[in-house]
Structure 1
Amino acid sequence: MEALQVNKVNSKEDLEKVFAVRKTVFVDEQNCPPELEWEHEDDSVHFLALLNNEPCGACRWRKTDNGYKLERFAVLKEHRGKRIGQALVAAALSDLPSDAGYIYLNAQLQAMRTYARFGFIAEGEQFEEAGIQHMKMVKKA
């Protein structure tokens, strides 16, 4: 049986693993421009998913002027379909302050079902970010 854990990042070493996962998924696989990928790192709370102690996924949340934004959900291709994305969403949500009122994210279309399981609802028009179609989703209490 595979052992999955999601840890809040609190070391430079783990942060490097987060960046490596994101580089593989966003920059290498999805061709996102690297300069769009690396921003707001210092004011974000990062999470690293490990499968059998090997990095397999990452995400982060940060406080914005609008509320709390969940972002940069990435699961390595060979580990997709193993509920790692769901584990990352759950970890990020459970880490938010108890008074986090407005929680939102920009979902790639194929990931919308995962976020909907946690009460996120699509809002507004579909839009393009880094050449990929997205929908804004907002968590309803």
Structure 2
Amino acid sequence: MEALLVNKVKTKEELEKVFAVRKTVFVEEQNCPPELEWENEEESIHFLAEINGEPCGACRWRKTEAGYKLERFAVLKEFRGKRIGQALVAAALADLPESAHYIYLNAQLEAMRLYSRFGFIAEGEQFEEAGIQHMKMVKKS
């Protein structure tokens, strides 16, 4: 039985694992420019997903001028389809302060269905970020 755990990052070692997952998914697989990938790390709360102790996914949230932004959801290719994305979204949402009034994210188009399960609704026009089409989504429920 595979044991999936999602934990808030507390150590530099855990953060390195988060960065390794993101580098694989965004920089290597999706060809995102590395300089766009590493920003706002200090003020972000990071999460690491592991299956049987092996890093498999990551995400983060941070407070912005607009509200609370969920971002950098990444699951390694060989672990996709195991509900890791759902576990990451749930963990990030559960960690937000109760006073979090406006929760939003910029979703890659193929990930929109995942976020909609958590009450996120698409808003505005489709746009490009790091060469990938996105939609802004805002949590309504």
The alignment's TM-score, normalised by the length of structure 2, stands at 1.00
2:134 is the counterpart of 1:134: yes
2:121 is matched with 121
Quote how far apart the aligned CAs of 1:18 are: 0.1
Q: Per the alignment, in what secondary structure is the counterpart of residue 22 of structure 2?
A: helix
**CA-based RMSD:** 0.3
1:24 is matched with 24
CA distance in structure 2 between the partners assigned to 1:43 and 1:34 by the alignment: 19
Quote how far apart the aligned CAs of 1:118 are: 0.2
The within-5 A match list for 1:25-104 is: 25-104=25-104
List gaps (5 residues or longer) in structure 2.
none
2:7 is the counterpart of 1:7: yes
Q: Count matched residues.
A: 141
Quote how far apart the aligned CAs of 1:43 are: 0.1
CA distance in structure 2 between the partners assigned to 1:134 and 1:80 by the alignment: 20
Identical aligned pairs, as a percentage?
84
The alignment's TM-score, normalised by the length of structure 1, stands at 1.00
Moved over 3 A (4+): none
List gaps (5 residues or longer) in structure 1.
none
